[in-house]
Structure 1
Amino acid sequence: MIRRLLIAAMVLALAPAARAGPAGPAQVGQYVDLQPVGLPIVVRGQLVNYVFVYVRLNLAADADATRLRDKEPFFRDALVRMAHRTPFTLAGDYNRVDEGRLIAGLSREAAAIAGPGAVRSVVVTSQAPQHRIPTPRT
């Protein structure tokens, strides 16, 4: 613990430019990161894989980030429900989800949960398959 504090102090001492930010309040943290969610990949009614996605909701400048971070479980629940209702399966790749459909669907749900105009955009920051599945033959 003490070693970490000393290292942090040295880094801060060596980086004076990093501390000198712009004058006035900055809009830091205007987003909500969802906990990783495992979404099913279903082909012809059969589960073939799970893809763990990391999603960020970028908020409007005037949105209450703290209040919306408290609603993170609601956003995640909406995503899981959508993915199980109609999986975001890509026809040519069982190791990724269809980002376009996920973003469109979660954008609608996020607007309903957070209120109109609170969520500026939805971004899939990362995807990690549970298993590597070979590309299907067409």
Structure 2
Amino acid sequence: MDRRALLALAPLALLAGPALASEEKSAGKPEVGQYVDLAPVALPIVVRGLLINYVFVSVRIQLSALANTAKLRTREPYFRDALVRAGHRAPYFTLATDYTKVDEVKLRSVMQREAIAIAGAKDIKTVTVISQSPKKRTGLPDPKANAAREIRP
């Protein structure tokens, strides 16, 4: 009987260990800051008018200390919509040297401007790209060959 009770409680004891460790970890360190994470967005990679790939990008908008985080998290669809519109307006985020990534510098600058327009300058600190995941990694044209074919004045 005791052996059966111990065997029945063993999985629960194993599950309790990580939960207690995460509580201790979260209690020991303060929150990194206030932010709004955008759901991953597929941005097109267009070369000479041809769609050759999509890159799924996750973006974090860092908020100032005085920002109303709950209110701004409800505006996440507006931030994401602004990113999608900017990415599809023109092949603006296409990186000329790698078709499996987007140009982070351009993306951050555009999203910083859009986030300030949506939330206000006093609420937005910075915009960072958390991750990039291309749809295709192989079978893409060579960026160096395309750069050589471009006609420059």
TM-score range, shorter chain: 0.7 to 0.9
Contact persistence 2:56–2:132 (CA under 8 A): yes
Structure 1 runs, 4 residues or longer, greater than 4 Å off: 2-8, 12-17, 26-29
- Are 2:71 and 1:73 equivalent residues in the alignment? no
State percent identity of aligned pairs: 52
**Residue type at the aligned position of 1:83:** G
**Residue type at the aligned position of 1:63:** A
Counterparts of 1:98 and 1:11 in 2: how far apart (Å)?
Answer: 38
RMSD: 2.5
Decide whether aligned partners of structure 1 residues 100 and 4 sit closer, same or farther in structure 2, where only a CA change above 3 A counts: farther
Counterparts of 1:20 and 1:40 in 2: how far apart (Å)?
Answer: 41
Structure 2 SS opposite 1:77: helix
Bigger Rg, which one: 2
Select the structure that is richer in helix: 2
- Are 2:107 and 1:102 equivalent residues in the alignment? yes
Decide whether aligned partners of structure 1 residues 107 and 7 sit closer, same or farther in structure 2, where only a CA change above 3 A counts: farther
Q: How many residues align?
A: 134
What are the ranges of 5 or more consecutive residues in structure 2 without an aligned counterpart? 1-8, 149-153
Query: What's the CA shift for 1:19?
Result: 5.9
Q: TM-score, normalised by structure 1?
A: 0.84
Query: What's the CA shift for 1:92?
Result: 1.3
